[in-house]
């Protein structure tokens, strides 16, 4: 048997070096998305440089102003007013530059997040059905919504403060060097303490934020699962177990969140402590130098301002680093989803199936969902156009799997499935599926109007076509009893409609399209017997001239099938008409008698 398409994943321990490598790779990918907005980023950097330069020029002016009033009886009021005017003008220009810069940063941040979220959602459309079948829906939703929100917050803070902080540090050093070399050296000597503090905290913060994101995803998945199946939970009195499971995850989330918050919260007081040391050192040494006449009082005032401005960015950058750790942790989860292998693309020369005749041939087909459990083996089937093929058998025998293979939701492991003589792997998925109409036991309705739900597969359908399809599916009457008829907006998954009503709307959806081949997988399982008889008549009319595959547990519904396939353990064990199979007195006869004998 050929190698299977599905791979099992192992949770191998990840080394420290691998984690660092992944973080760098994530950061490079983020920068790649940001690079699409080069002009906006360049404008933001320019405005930040202007704002920083003007902000750093103000302490020089303040020092000059102090020197104009420092001597007893020696106040130069005219010069002082000129300096104050300059300070006002510079402050206004700085405020305008910062406002425009923040606006640009917001634009870049939310456009980058929009690009990533859109690409992630588009990638979900390309993922194989097997991925969605084996991963919690809530976790996928959490990656698309919550993690991208967390990422945007960190990215916005990085844009807002990181470059400004670095520029402020560099500019402040230059201005301080222009005033006095020795005091500047004192400031630079004490500064590395901030780097050590920030690095120590950042290492621990990232791990906690990573665990926090993963646990939040698990909580979203559990909540989504419980809400989606609340009736089942209540029916089996499983509330207490569900509450216990939720509390366990919630307790873990609290622990990770508390530790992440603790490490991130000690950044500010730690760096402030270092800043205070720098400020005190500058004040003490500067005062000594001012007393001895090496610098003026105004220059000392400027230096104290610069010392405060020089250390402040370290405080901000530490906060940015912490937030970026959270951002990278969240972004890595989104990128993990985007890196999941997509379905193999249709080949360039793949056939576009316009209007299928209805020939379906399955030759020596092997398939299993997992490597260690065999399901379908050496399956052969030949269906002619217009034939009604019923598929019956016990639960787990492979009936629905056969449908998944016909629709190419899964690829066969060995053998081939041909439609009109062409291997379905050589037909584009879109055109192949457009030639099948499906009504499944599991109903799905969109949160929109009744009309839009029926016309889901044919958006350009006319009003008359939609109403005719609804009448044929016997749902026109209850639709007209709704508040707004066909314009009634349904809630999530059909809102307050009964399961049977939802299934009738799904049947109407297929009746509107009427493709050349049909798949009815327990299509009337939720409908009452009286309505089912009417639907069966509608189906009989709909199936005329169309190749149809009917999966049924109630054997009374498939008596008129042209051929009945009896499946057992992934194999077709019997094949024939209803009467032929009963006369054979084999497995089908046992299934039939089990349903109808008293």
Q: Is 112 exposed, middle or buried (0-12, 13-18, 19+ CB in 10 A)?
A: buried
Share of the chain above pLDDT 70, in %: 87
Work out the average pLDDT over 403-415: 88
How many other CB atoms are there within 10 angstroms of residue 263's CB atom? 21
Q: Is the pTM of this model over 0.75?
A: no
Q: Report the SS3 class of residue 205.
A: helix
Does 72 have pLDDT greater than 80?
no
Q: What's the mean pLDDT in 393-401?
A: 80
Indicate if the pLDDT at residue 500 is higher than 90: no
What is the predicted pLDDT for the residue at 4? 40
What percent of the chain stands above pLDDT 90? 4
Q: How far apart are alpha carbons 187 and 306 in whole angstroms?
A: 10
Contact 355, 419 (CB under 8 A): no
- At residue 493, does pLDDT exceed 80? no
Query: Which pLDDT band, with edges at 50, 70 and 90, does 319 fall under?
Result: low
For residues 152 and 131, give the distance between their C-alpha atoms in angstroms, rounded to a whole number. 26
Check residue 11 and give its pLDDT: 43
Contacts with 223 (C-beta within 8 Å, 6 or more apart), sequence order: 138, 246
Q: How confident is the model at residue 182 (pLDDT cuts 50, 70, 90)?
A: confident
pLDDT band at 189 (very low <50, low <70, confident <90, very high): confident
* Residue 470 pLDDT greater than 80, yes or no: yes
Query: Residue 92's pLDDT is what?
Result: 94
Confidence of residue 502 (pLDDT cuts 50, 70, 90): confident
User: What mean pLDDT comes out for the span 418-433?
Assistant: 89
Helices (H), 35-136: 38-67, 77-126, 129-134
For 449, the token pair is: 């109007």
Quick one: average pLDDT of 465-491? 88
Residue with the bigger pLDDT between 225 and 25: it is 25
Asked if residue 176 lies in contact with residue 310, where contact means CB atoms within 8 angstroms, the answer is yes
- For residue 291, the model assigns a pLDDT of 78
Per-residue model confidence (pLDDT) at position 456: 87
If phi > 0 it is left, if psi is from -120 to 50 it is alpha, else beta; for residue 459 that is alpha
Mean pLDDT of the chain: 80
Contacts of 165 (CB under 8 A, 6+ apart): 313, 314, 316, 317, 320
Mean per-residue pLDDT, 99-103: 89
Tokens 């321990």, residue located: 13
Q: Rounded to whole angstroms, what are the CA distances from 30 to 26, 34, 42, 332, 339?
A: 6, 6, 17, 10, 14
pLDDT value of residue 89: 92
Beta strands at 422-423 and 414-419: parallel, antiparallel or unpaired: antiparallel
Domain limits, the chain: 29-338, 360-596
Quote the pLDDT of residue 15.
59
Residue range 360-596 in CATH 3.40.50.920: no
Mean pLDDT of 14-25: 70
Question: Between the CA of residue 138 and those of 121, 144, 149, 363, 533, what are the distances in Å?
Answer: 14, 10, 16, 38, 39
- Report helix, strand or coil for 212: helix
Interacting residues of 62 by C-beta distance below 8 A, sequence separation 6+: 87, 298, 301, 302, 305
For the ranges 92-101, 460-469, 589-598, the lowest mean pLDDT is seen at 589-598
Instruction: Confirm if 482 and 450 have CB atoms less than 8 A apart.
Output: yes
Which tokens sit at 199? 């690095």
The Cα-based distances of 374 to 3, 367, 440 in angstroms read 13, 7, 25
Tell me what pLDDT residue 6 has: 45
Q: Of 10-24, 485-499, 567-581, where does mean pLDDT reach its minimum? A: 10-24
Range 63-80 average pLDDT: 73
Topology of domain 29-338 in CATH is: ABC transporter transmembrane region fold (1.20.1560)
Q: 587 with 566: CB under 8 angstroms?
A: yes
pLDDT tens by residue, 430-441 = 889 888 888 877
Q: Tell me what the mean pLDDT of segment 366-391 comes to.
A: 85
Lowest-pLDDT choice from 204-213, 299-308, 311-320, 427-436: 311-320
């Amino acid at each position: 048997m050929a190698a299977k398409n599905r791979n099992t994943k192992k949770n191998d321990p990840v080394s420290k070096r691998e984690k660092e490598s992944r973080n760098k790779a994530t950061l490079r990918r983020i920068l790649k998305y940001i690079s699409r907005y080069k002009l906006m980023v360049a404008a933001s950097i320019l405005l930040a440089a202007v704002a920083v330069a003007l902000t750093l020029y103000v302490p020089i002016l303040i020092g000059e102003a102090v020197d104009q009033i420092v001597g007893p009886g020696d106040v130069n009021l005219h010069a002082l007013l000129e300096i104050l005017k300059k300070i006002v003008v510079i402050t206004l220009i700085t405020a305008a530059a910062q406002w425009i810069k923040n606006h640009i940063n917001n634009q870049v941040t939310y456009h980058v997040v929009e690009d990533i979220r859109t690409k992630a959602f588009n990638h979900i459309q390309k993922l194989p059905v097997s991925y969605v079948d084996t991963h919690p829906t809530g976790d996928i939703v959490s990656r698309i919504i919550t993690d991208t929100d967390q990422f945007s917050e960190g990215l916005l803070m990085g844009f807002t403060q990181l470059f400004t902080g670095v520029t402020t540090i560099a500019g402040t050093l230059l201005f301080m060097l222009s005033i006095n070399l020795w005091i500047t050296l004192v400031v630079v000597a004490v500064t590395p303490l901030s780097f050590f503090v920030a690095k120590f905290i950042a290492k621990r913060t990232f791990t906690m934020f990573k665990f926090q994101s993963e646990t939040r995803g698990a909580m979203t998945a559990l909540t989504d699962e419980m809400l989606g199946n609340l009736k089942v939970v209540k029916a089996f009195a499983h509330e207490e177990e569900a509450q216990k499971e939720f509390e366990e995850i919630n307790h873990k989330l609290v622990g990770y969140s508390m530790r992440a918050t603790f490490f991130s919260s000690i950044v500010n007081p730690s760096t402030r402590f270092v800043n205070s040391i720098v400020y005190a050192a500058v004040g003490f040494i500067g005062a000594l130098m001012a007393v001895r006449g090496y610098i003026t009082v105004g220059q000392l005032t400027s230096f104290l301002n610069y010392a405060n401005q020089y250390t402040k960015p370290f405080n901000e950058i530490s906060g940015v680093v912490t937030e970026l750790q959270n951002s990278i942790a969240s972004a890595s989860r989104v990128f993990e989803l985007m890196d999941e292998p997509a379905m193999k693309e249709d080949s360039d020369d793949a056939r576009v199936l316009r209007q299928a005749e209805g020939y379906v041939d399955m030759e020596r087909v092997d398939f299993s969902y997992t490597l260690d459990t065999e399901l379908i083996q050496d399956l052969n089937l030949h269906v002619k156009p217009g034939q009604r093929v019923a598929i019956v058998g016990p639960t787990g025998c492979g009936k629905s799997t056969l449908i998944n293979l016909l629709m190419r939701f899964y690829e066969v492991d060995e053998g081939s499935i041909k439609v009109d003589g062409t291997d379905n792997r050589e037909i584009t998925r879109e055109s192949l599926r457009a030639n099948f109409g499906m009504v499944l036991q599991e109903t799905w309705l969109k949160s929109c109007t009744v009309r839009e739900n029926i016309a889901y597969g044919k958006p350009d359908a006319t009003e008359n076509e939609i109403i005719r399809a609804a009448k044929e599916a016997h749902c026109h009457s209850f639709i007209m009893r709704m508040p707004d008829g066909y314009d009634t907006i349904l809630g999530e998954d059909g809102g307050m409609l009964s399961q049977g009503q939802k299934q009738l709307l799904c049947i109407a959806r297929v009746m509107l399209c009427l493709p050349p081949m049909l798949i009815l997988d327990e299509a009337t399982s939720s409908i009452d017997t009286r309505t089912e008889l009417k639907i069966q008549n509608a189906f009989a009319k709909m199936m005329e001239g169309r190749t149809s595959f009917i999966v049924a547990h109630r054997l009374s519904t498939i008596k008129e099938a042209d051929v009945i396939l009896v499946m057992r353990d992934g194999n077709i064990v019997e094949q024939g008409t209803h009467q032929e199979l009963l006369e054979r007195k084999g497995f089908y006869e046992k299934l039939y008698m089990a349903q109808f004998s008293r």
